[in-house]
Amino acid sequence: MAGAGNAIRGSRVGAGPMGEAERGEAAPRQAVTYFCSHDHRSVVTFAIEAAVPDSWDCPKCGLPASLDSDNPPAAPKIEPYKTHLAYVKERRSEQEAQEILDEALEKLRARRARGEIIF
In which residue ranges of the chain is pLDDT below 50? none
State the pLDDT at residue 7. 57
State the pLDDT at residue 38. 93
State the pLDDT at residue 18. 58
Q: What angle do CA 50, 20, 48 make, to 5 degrees?
A: 15
State the pLDDT at residue 59. 94
Q: How far, in Å, are 6, 9, 52, 67, 86 from residue 74 at the CA level? A: 53, 48, 20, 13, 28
